[in-house]
Structure 1
Amino acid sequence: MSVAEIERSIIKKYRKTIWRRFIKGINDYDLIEDGDVIAVTISGGKDSLLLAKLLQELKRHGKKQFELLFLTMDPGYLPAIRKQVEDTAAAMGIPLQIYDSNVFEVAEDMGGEKPCYMCARMRRGSLYDKAKSLGANKLALGHHFDDVIETVMMNVLFGGSYKTMMPKLHSANFEGMELIRPMIFIRESDIRQWVKYNDLTPIDCACTVTAKENFGARAYVKNLIEHIAEENPNVAMSIYRSAENVELGAILGYKDGEGKKHSFLEHYERRE
């Protein structure tokens, strides 16, 4: 597929399932403003490649005036993987800015039983730092709808907490920087179909650490949701909406914005 054909597929063939849901996320959560300089994080995977093309199309046809940077951090990819990332981006008309780091190596040394968690935190911090140094005020990540609901379930089942992936967040460590997730309403199955239709070759995780073992918590939750969907086709949306419909009067406790824990007993009124 040519670059023009790839771009046309987004606003034509996948207009309903991808483009409109992308626009809905942008509008519903006020993710982009005039004057923004957005650093788009490109790992070379299917999600970040689609995000790059969506933002390019929005810049070309949208009403907001903003600038785009396309950042790829090489955390220690094998040479063949790095070349694949570079070649695929070039074929898609995505002008990458690549820089090197040793995140994979450090994550393996420090991660213990959670190298993926350590890797994600370190990669994000590195990307924030690089993006800010280049004049960006926002960092765009390629998380999609299924990432969001799987994260909710992983936190409930394995973390003993209720948290979701927010559409946007102010960075706690990089003043003036904000994280945005423009693909929050797009389903992973539709991304896979778009990739297949355009005959693209994205990479998978390409991690040199977890390739040594099987880290399957997210895969377990993904399969669990798919199994429940066989009986309840609306389960995915129910999980998502649960993060919009929290009843503070019907939970045992919560943490405020400063991390302080509160119990329902603080506001409990005894009645005869």
Structure 2
Amino acid sequence: MSNLFKKACRLAGNAIVEYRMIEEGDRILAGVSGGKDSMVLLRVLAYFRGVAPVRFELEAVTFDPGFPGFSADATGEYCRALSIPHHTIRFDMPALLKEKETERNPCMLCSRLRRGNLYTLAKKLRCNKIALGQHLDDIAVSFLMNLCRGAGLSTMGPNVPAEEHEARIIRPLAFAPESLLAGIAAEMELPVRGECLYKNELENGDRRYFKHILDEISERIPDLRSNILRSLSNVQEGFLLDRKFLDLKGGRNGK
């Protein structure tokens, strides 16, 4: 086991324990796009499956949007090598985009389709946990986006209920920076798939913009990502502006 992978497992283990992500008897469905983040997530969960003090079952799913050149075959082979049951859900995104006339905003439609199918498959497989590959950078970027949009002091939760579904969403890589995952994927030569056909839309989107902001601030504050994580774990309710957390009953001089 390499030092990079050991570090990822340590960070993931800390997050899993702190937020009670995995418990005895869990059935976990991992969403695996084939990108570096989800492939590392799969490898980490496969490792924990063999050494964790609790027993849990693990399956994986990949969504094939039907874009030219996309294939889930390599991801399926990778899962089989790890003895993880793998499912592929296919849909014709090019046809759907034309039908709904949303070709300029394909990511939103694709996200809704993947989420709905993910929940449906989890229910069919009786999985009570859905593991996603979002990492520390994703959590920090989501916090900045919500902050600047006036959406509240919030971000992606590490262990939260799925919308309109009995399963819970867990993010075991919540403490792991993206750079670490990229290093592991390269070092272990994971079969990471190529870029999405709509890469330009992703590059010009809000999330990418805030990622650039995060990178720029990090040049001045190197520990920015971990500092944001620490702040999100240390909410001082009495020093915010939400009235339900404030004691406003005092009179003059606090009497």
Per the normalisation by structure 2, the TM-score is 0.85
Task: Report what 2:133 is aligned to.
Answer: 142
Task: Report what 1:3 is aligned to.
Answer: none
Question: Which amino acid in 1 is paired with 2:7?
Answer: T
Task: Report what 1:163 is aligned to.
Answer: 154
Per the normalisation by structure 1, the TM-score is 0.80
State the shift of 1:131 in Å.
1.5
Task: Report what 1:193 is aligned to.
Answer: 183
Contact 2:60–2:85 (CA<8 Å) still a contact in 1? Answer: yes
The secondary structure found in structure 2 opposite 1:40 is strand
Question: Which amino acid in 2 is paired with 1:225?
Answer: L
The secondary structure found in structure 1 opposite 2:183 is helix
Give the number of equivalent residue pairs: 251
Q: Distance in 2 between matches of 1:166 and 1:265?
A: 21
The secondary structure found in structure 2 opposite 1:230 is helix
Residue 183 (structure 1) aligned to one of 173, 185, 189: 173
Q: Deviations 1:56-79 (Å, cap 9, x if unpaired)?
A: 111111111111111112233334
Residue 10 (structure 2) aligned to one of 7, 10, 20: 20
Q: Distance in 1 between matches of 2:194 and 2:137?
A: 16
Matching of residues 121-132 of structure 1 within 5 Å = 121-132=112-123
| Percent of residue pairs identical | 30
User: Is 1:224 aligned with 2:213?
Assistant: yes
The secondary structure found in structure 2 opposite 1:127 is helix
Are the structure 2 counterparts of residues 137 and 35 from structure 1 closer, same or farther at C-alpha, using a change threshold of 3 Å? same
Residue 40 (structure 1) aligned to one of 25, 30, 36: 30
Task: Report what 1:260 is aligned to.
Answer: none
Structure 2 residues without counterparts, runs of 5 or longer = none
> In angstroms, what is the RMSD of aligned CA positions?
2.8
Are the structure 2 counterparts of residues 195 and 93 from structure 1 closer, same or farther at C-alpha, using a change threshold of 3 Å? farther
Contact 1:76–1:103 (CA<8 Å) still a contact in 2? Answer: yes
User: Is 1:269 aligned with 2:249?
Assistant: yes
State the shift of 1:97 in Å.
1.4
User: Is 1:53 aligned with 2:43?
Assistant: yes
Task: Report what 2:228 is aligned to.
Answer: 239
Are the structure 2 counterparts of residues 204 and 224 from structure 1 closer, same or farther at C-alpha, using a change threshold of 3 Å? farther
